[in-house]
Amino acid sequence: MNASDTYALAVHAGAGNDIPGEAPPGTEDERRSALLAALREGEAILQAGRTAVDAVVHAVVALEDCPLFNAGKGSVLAADGTVEMDASVMDGATGRAGGVSTVTTLRNPVLAAQAILRHSPHAILCGPGAETFAAAHGLAREDNAWFRTPHRIDQLRRAKERGAGQERESTGTVGAVARDRLGNLAAATSTGGMTNKALGRVSDSSIPGAGVWARNGIVAVSCTGTGDDFIRNATAYEIEALVAHRGRGLAEACNEALQRIAAQAGNGGVIAVDAGGAIAAVRAADHMAWASVREGEDPASGLGSAGPVRYETGAGA
Ligand code: ASP
């Protein structure tokens, strides 16, 4: 098999800094197994010869369905105690992208993003319009209370007791990047956003160029972090620009874009795959949860919680 015919896939479940007194739900083992299970879901799609877009969407659905992560069921709560979710997907083969923002009833926001990519003339829909569009395409809905777990209810209470503004824990938002056997690149991201955020706040996770990006021949990127900074810096697109126009290597480009965020007092991480199937998982934060696989190789994973490492390169980069 030619290296150019092989697939590559990476998933993440967030990156960030510790908040004293706060820990993500579940154990490290549980989070790692959930990440690896999502990786297998996506890999099965690529093994079957299907597209990079299908693979990233399947992987992200598996992560949204896991209540340990800040996406779909288990999303963090906004200041009023409700859940508002954002998600996006981008197809590097066509340049088409779909995003949803501030949705409150869609069981799998990334499926709504994919429906927009496929069927809408628009790139992003938000709120009730997004929900109506998704329902018209047969997507499942739940009451908002269905998304709220006891962990998230307690977390919001503690944030309010601390007098915190919006805040994010060290892991949670989810995403995936893939290269399929035909060389197509795709990326998807999904989040409940930040704990105690203002209602109506839009995260980078719904915005192509900010929290998601894919272009065949160059790179696919999924971001996690202080999303307002990622929006202001067009971080996902900046990684493409650094690779394509500045000749940076994949991990180097990811690191440079993240260092810009860190210099502005933000934090976070990215996963990326390039046209040759190299994968990078890079963080400028205390923790990052990621897993990756390339065809014919064993999966790799990391929770990035050991030592003072601020820069981490995943398998193949
Ligand atoms: N980027 C997400 C947001 O700003 C949060 C995260 O990645 O943890 O909503």
pLDDT, tens digit, 9 for 90 and up, residues 209-266? 999 999 999 999 999 999 999 999 999 999 999 999 999 999 999 999 999 999 999 9
Cross-strand bridge partners of residue 219? 215, 274
Q: Is 173 in the pocket of ligand 1 (CB under 6 A)?
A: yes
Alpha-carbon gap, residue 80 to 151, rounded angstroms = 16
| Cα gap 105→93, rounded to integer Å | 30
Find out whether 289 and 16 touch, Cβ atoms under 8 Å: no
Annotation marks residue 224 as catalytic: no
- Residue of 11, 88, 226 best suited for mutating to test ligand 1, as the one with most atoms within 8 Å of CB: 226
For ligand 1, atom 9, name the residue with the nearest CA: 193
User: Which residue owns the Cα nearest ligand 1 atom 1?
Assistant: 227
Taking the C-alpha atoms of residue 223 and residue 174, their distance in angstroms, rounded to an integer, is 9
What's the mean pLDDT when you consider all of the chain?
92
Has residue 308 got a pLDDT over 60? no
- What is the rounded distance in angstroms from the CA atom of residue 38 to the CA atom of residue 62? 5
Q: pLDDT at position 317, please?
A: 38
Strand, coil or helix: 241: helix
For the CA of 194, the nearest atom of ligand 1: 9
- For domain 3-313, which architecture applies? 4-Layer Sandwich (3.60)
Residue 289 has pLDDT above 70, yes or no: yes
Ligand 1 centre and the CA of 223: distance in Å?
A: 8
* Residue 172 CB neighbours (<10 A): 29
Kindly report the protein residue whose alpha carbon is nearest to atom 7 of ligand 1: 224
Mean pLDDT of 87-109: 98
Q: Is 43 near ligand 1, meaning CB less than 6 Å away?
A: no
Give the active site residue among 6, 51, 149, 173. Answer: 173
Please report the pLDDT score of residue 163 as a whole number: 84
Give residue 21's pLDDT.
Answer: 82
* Model pLDDT, residue 200: 97
Residue 164: band (very low, low, confident or very high) from pLDDT cuts 50, 70, 90? confident
Indicate if ligand 1 lies below 6 Å from the C-beta of 172.
yes
Supply the pLDDT for residue 302.
Answer: 87
User: In the predicted model, is pLDDT for residue 53 greater than 80?
Assistant: yes
**Confidence at residue 309, expressed as pLDDT on a 0 to 100 scale:** 42
Find out whether the beta carbon of 266 lies less than 6 Å from any atom of ligand 1: no
Domain residues of the chain, as ranges?
3-313
Tell whether ligand 1 has an atom less than 6 A from the beta carbon of residue 204. yes
Say what the pTM is: 0.95
Q: Is 225 helix (H, G, I), strand (E, B) or coil?
A: strand
Q: At how many degrees (to 10) do helices 28-47 and 52-65 cross? A: 150
The single residue listed with the structure tokens 């030619």 is 2
Name the pLDDT band for 307 (thresholds 50, 70, 90): very low
Please, which pLDDT band fits residue 314 given cuts at 50, 70 and 90? Answer: very low
Tokens 């503004």 -> residue: 165
Mapped onto helix, strand or coil, the DSSP state of residue 48 is coil
Q: Which of 204, 213, 222, 264 to mutate to test the pocket of ligand 1 (most atoms within 8 A of CB)?
A: 204
Rounded CA-CA distance 52/76 in Å is 28
Res 45 pLDDT > 90: yes
> Which pair of tokens denotes residue 292?
């990756």
